[in-house]
């Protein structure tokens, strides 16, 4: 399904693709994925585990991903220039992506939701908590950081895995993704080759847009450090991070939890920058318990 939203930057109107899973009478949980990832980046098995625990899920494609609007006429993103402080190639920022998520809640008639974000999705979820505090019932920030360059940085082996000629065909994209997750994935768990290949292939079929991914990446960098603003977040917060995350070092999760008053930090040994299938039930239990506590606090 898709809905149309107004946008302050880029096209005047955006199409946002989304899915709803579970009973709409249950607490709503908005799932936000990371750079280049699509709504199917939330594994079906994890979503099923969350639904079994009495949650109503909304997962969606961010702008420039999947079946949502791609800003094809935007400037070509220049990451080195953005890192150096030149933002002329930045088409939008995290604040705009957070506004997209809130616009989706508006379109679905939801005054507020529990928000769960992974990687860049965690940055967007944090931004919602900062800029739209009345729209968020609880925050779960997974494998994410604060935007400070002093924490959460990728390890050299992760950067090396991401280097090289970009893939172009479906087979090349699947092969490259498997190679990358062999480095940034969870060393304590077997690599889910079949699951990763399936989700990557389906994502390629839905949309393949390397420049869209790059626009999202420069949006994250250009949005800067959220640390001081995170100190104003008052919603119940759960921070989940893998101890062995090579793409976003665990120091980013620790800094996020330290910045948000009362945040609960869960660091999982053997976990990298992914969602291992053997942990889906445990993750679903932790997230559902967090939602339940927040619902009780709301009365």
Span 240-288, pLDDT tens digits: 999 999 999 999 999 999 999 999 999 999 999 999 999 999 999 999 9
Cα–Cα distance, 227 to 148 (Å, whole number): 7
Given a contact cutoff of 8 angstroms between Cβ atoms, the answer to whether 17 and 101 are in contact is no
271 phi/psi in degrees, rounded to 5: -105, 135
Average pLDDT over residues 27-34: 98
CB neighbour burial string for 164-194, b if at least 16 within 10 angstroms, e if fewer: eeebeeeeebbebbbebbebbbbbbbeebee
Distance of CA 56 to the CA centre of its chain: 18
Asked if residue 113 lies in contact with residue 136, where contact means CB atoms within 8 angstroms, the answer is yes
Residue 188 to residue 53: CA distance in whole angstroms: 26
Check residue 13 and give its pLDDT.
85
Q: What is the mean pLDDT of the chain?
A: 96
User: Tell me: the pLDDT tens digits for 141-189?
Assistant: 999 999 999 999 999 999 999 998 899 999 999 999 999 999 999 999 9
Q: Is the CB of residue 15 less than 8 Å from the CB of residue 66?
A: no
For the chain, domains (ranges, CATH) are 2-298 (3.40.50.1820)
Summarize the confidence of residues 125-138 as an average pLDDT. 98
- Mean pLDDT value across residues 37-55: 98
Judged against a pLDDT cut of 90, whether residue 7 lies above it is answered with: no
Band of the pLDDT at 4, cuts 50, 70, 90?
confident
pLDDT at residue 164, as a whole number: 85
Question: Which residues, 6+ apart, have CB-to-CB distance to 38 below 8 Å?
Answer: 61, 65, 66, 67, 203, 206, 207
CA pair distance 188, 191, nearest whole angstrom:
9
């Amino acid at each position: 399904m898709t809905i149309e939203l107004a946008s302050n930057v880029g096209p005047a109107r955006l199409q946002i693709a989304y899915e709803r899973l579970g009973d709409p009478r249950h607490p709503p949980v908005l799932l936000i994925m990371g750079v280049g990832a699509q709504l199917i980046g939330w594994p079906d098995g994890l979503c099923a585990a969350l639904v079994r625990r009495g949650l109503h899920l909304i997962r969606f494609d961010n702008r420039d991903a999947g079946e949502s609007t791609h800003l094809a006429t935007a400037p070509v993103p220049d990451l080195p220039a953005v890192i150096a402080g030149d933002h002329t190639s930045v088409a939008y920022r995290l604040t705009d992506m957070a506004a997209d998520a809130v616009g989706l809640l508006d379109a679905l008639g939801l005054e507020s939701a529990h928000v769960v974000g992974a990687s860049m999705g965690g940055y967007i979820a944090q931004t919602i908590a900062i800029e739209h505090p009345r729209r968020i019932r609880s925050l779960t920030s997974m494998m994410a950081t604060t935007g400070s360059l002093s924490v959460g940085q990728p390890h050299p082996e992760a950067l090396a895995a991401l280097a090289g000629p970009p893939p172009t065909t479906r087979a090349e994209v699947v092969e490259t993704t498997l190679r990358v997750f062999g480095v940034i994935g969870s060393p304590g768990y077997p690599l889910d080759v079949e699951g990763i290949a399936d989700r990557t292939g389906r994502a390629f079929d839905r949309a393949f847009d390397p420049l869209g991914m790059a626009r999202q990446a420069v949006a994250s960098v250009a949005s800067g450090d959220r640390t001081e603003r995170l100190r104003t977040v008052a919603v119940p917060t759960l921070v989940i991070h893998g101890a062995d995350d090579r793409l976003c070092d665990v120091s980013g999760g620790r800094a996020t939890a330290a910045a948000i008053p009362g945040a609960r930090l869960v660091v999982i040994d053997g976990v990298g920058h992914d969602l291992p299938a053997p942990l889906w039930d445990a993750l679903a239990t932790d997230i559902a318990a967090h939602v339940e506590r927040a619902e009780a606090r709301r009365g």
